Amino acid sequence: MHRRQFTKLLALMACPLPASVLAQSDGENWTEMFAEAVREYPWLAAWGNVEQDRYEADAVVRGNWPEALQGVVYRTGPAQHEIFGYRNRHWFDGNGMVHAWRIDGGGVRHQARLIETLKLQAERAAGRALYSGLSGAPPGQAGLTGPNDVNSGNTSVLFHHDRLLALWEAGSPYEIDAETLETRGIYNFEEPGGGSSMRGAPFSAHPRVDVDGSVWNFGYASAAGLLVFWHIGADGALRKAGRIAVDPMTMPHDFVVTEKHLVILLPPFHFRPAADAMGFLDMHEWRPQDPCRVLVVDKNDFSSHYFLELPAQWIFHFGNAWEDRSGVIRFDGARAPDPSIMTQTFTEIMRGNPDYGRAARHYGYRLDTRARTISEESMLEPGVFTEFPSIDPRVGCRQYRKLVFLSQSEADLAEHGTLNEVNLFDIESGRRDWFRYPDTQIPEEHLYAPRPGSEPESGGWILGTAFDWRRGRHIINLFNAEGIADGPVASAELPYAIPLGLHGKFVTG
Amino acid sequence: MKTSKTISAFLLIAALGAYTQASAETLTIVIEDIDDATGILQVQVMAGQAQFEGEGAVAQFMEPAVAGTLTFTAEDLPPGEYAIRIMHDLNGNGELDTNFVGMPTEPYAFSNNARGSFGPAKWEDARFVVESDVTQVISLNP
Ligand SMILES: [Fe+2]
């Protein structure tokens, strides 16, 4: 008899995981509803379904692409929103497509491919949508053995140790061939002593690269109530990992790293699985009366950590963070009063509801690690909504003063309700320079591209893509960072447009 | 490569006092998609919900894994409701290994190819009726 093994099997599977939860199908035809909405509001095409599983084209270039700017913008984003006729109920549930914009001596070549995830392959084999997502579920959905069953690689990319990884929020990285963009499969970091305990552990979409070239990241395992912390060496191998119990768990999307600490905000969006949940978001409860906890972790010793509190708030993205000699950490982020942009707007947009909610304002935070206090303060005038902060990668995890972000002014009456300005903001002087995109274009994340040989945060470029909904074209624009208000100095246009993506990285060389 | 193993449930059931004079059926368990020929395949047949959610089994098998398909036969099962649980103990340590956050890292499966949501399959999804000879084809890597 081998009862012990099976008893252990059952105990393990029953214990750290919530009761079996299958979301309900709403039985509505969102594909039809959305198609109708696009006829009335053509800019919603940015949330349409991708038409092909791969793209490749030389872009038509305009303006002056500098010889000194050589590299690749790798990006990912949800692109396949309709699976055999079933339209996803959340923007972030779309199957991921990875992009490469190869910029080389004045030419710009674009490639894109759907990521061959386990999810995509299972759906293709079944000939139908299979899984419950952040919102809703298709009829006759299949159960999950773990988060990687629905890992779409659609959130961000990391290029580390010559390896391109497509990242998602709660699962493993997908390795992508940087030349062909073919999917190589789920990637497991090499572990000390050849171990395998990190396989399938959550690796979030916003790792931070430290000055020594090593990478810090976190991940959340909702059912287990654990935050996982990762430190990957510049050589690509796992240096160490740690676990911190968080009860109740929430959905942290990004974090910051300083000289000495990791800081992660834990909004009061409590994980509370329920048998009748309509998707993963519905397994959470927003509790504005509860604080947003702030977890401060010692980089050298993950077991050394403590919690502080801020008023309830929701943050997707931080710009950067640094710590001075007196132990004061300063960081910034796009702060929303609640998670409704994620729980409502990004579901409604899939249905075709054009009321694009405005959410986040840019805040600066001051965290004193000796006094163990934290305070927050608005960084911009009240009428400016922001998202997608980014920095010169050379100042990551260290003192910085320049931020790139997208924004929208409260008074703006653009035809589409989304972000439409790209900014360069000087934190020290408070000076904000920006360019407003034409109403026919929806900008995606913009990135700082350093000029070779330049000082950090000086003399660089800003590179960003945009969806031209009137012409059905995707474009990439180049700005001089210090002359952003003058508009793009060069651009390149594709003969097609691909549904709005999320994050990317510029890789020099 | 195919291997067939047979076990009689007669003695096990008799020992548990569950044996009645009803007809005795044969359950054939075909395990497909075994990716790795290393380690041990463990198969457990449970009679009824209480046993599925509790402890024990009416039939158990342990065999060295082979790549491809393995077939097991449980004989002399009285008619009733059953479920099957399978795990592939790749490193032969006698346990279903889990990762840093408690998720199984070795293949496992249930009858009807039932899958749970963030956990084990439920009895309602894994159960099947034995009233005559029956075959369950289960994929270890669905
Ligand atoms: Fe993000």
Q: What residue ranges define each of the domains in chain B, with the CATH number in brackets? A: 25-139 (2.60.40)
pLDDT value of residue A24: 61
Local confidence band at A446 (pLDDT 50, 70, 90 cut-offs): very high
Q: What is the pLDDT of residues A51-75, one digit of tens each?
A: 999 999 999 999 999 999 999 999 9
Q: What is the pLDDT of residues A84-111, one digit of tens each?
A: 999 999 999 999 999 999 999 889 999 9
Alpha helices in A254-385 (DSSP H): 340, 346-351
The answer to whether the Cβ–Cβ distance between A3 and B98 falls below 8 Å is: no
Length of chain A measured in residues:
509
- CATH code of the domain containing A102: 2.130.10.10
Pairing of strands B40-47, A490-493: unpaired
- In this predicted structure, the answer to whether residue B15 has a pLDDT above a threshold of 60 is no
Mean pLDDT throughout B98-106?
Answer: 87
Number of domains composing chain A: 1
Mean pLDDT throughout A279-301?
Answer: 96
Local confidence band at B95 (pLDDT 50, 70, 90 cut-offs): confident
Tell whether ipTM is more than 0.85: no
For testing contact with chain B, the best of A1, A3, A4, A5 (most B CBs within 10 A): A5
- Put residue A28 in one of left, alpha, beta given phi > 0 → left and psi -120 to 50 → alpha: beta
Place of tokens 């773990």: A146
pLDDT value of residue B48: 95
In angstroms, what is the span from residue A406 Cα to ligand 1's centroid?
13
For testing contact with chain B, the best of A4, A9, A132 (most B CBs within 10 A): A9
Tell whether omega for the bond before A139 is within 30 degrees of 0, i.e. cis.
no
In angstroms, what is the span from residue A316 Cα to ligand 1's centroid?
6
pLDDT value of residue B3: 46
The type of residue at A23 is A
Q: What is the pLDDT of residues A17-37, one digit of tens each?
A: 333 345 567 888 999 999 999
Local confidence band at B7 (pLDDT 50, 70, 90 cut-offs): low
**Chain B residues close to A14, C-beta within 8 Å:** 119-120
Closest C-alpha to A239, from A205, A202, A195, A284: A195
Q: What is the pLDDT of residues A111-143, one digit of tens each?
A: 999 999 999 999 999 999 999 899 998 988 887
In angstroms, what is the span from residue B130 Cα to ligand 1's centroid?
51
Local confidence band at A161 (pLDDT 50, 70, 90 cut-offs): very high
Whole-number average pLDDT of chain A: 93
Mean pLDDT throughout B110-128?
Answer: 86
- From the list B85, B96, B99, the residue facing A198 with the nearest CB is B99
- Domain assignment of residue A471, given as a range: 3-508
- In this predicted structure, the answer to whether residue B141 has a pLDDT above a threshold of 80 is no
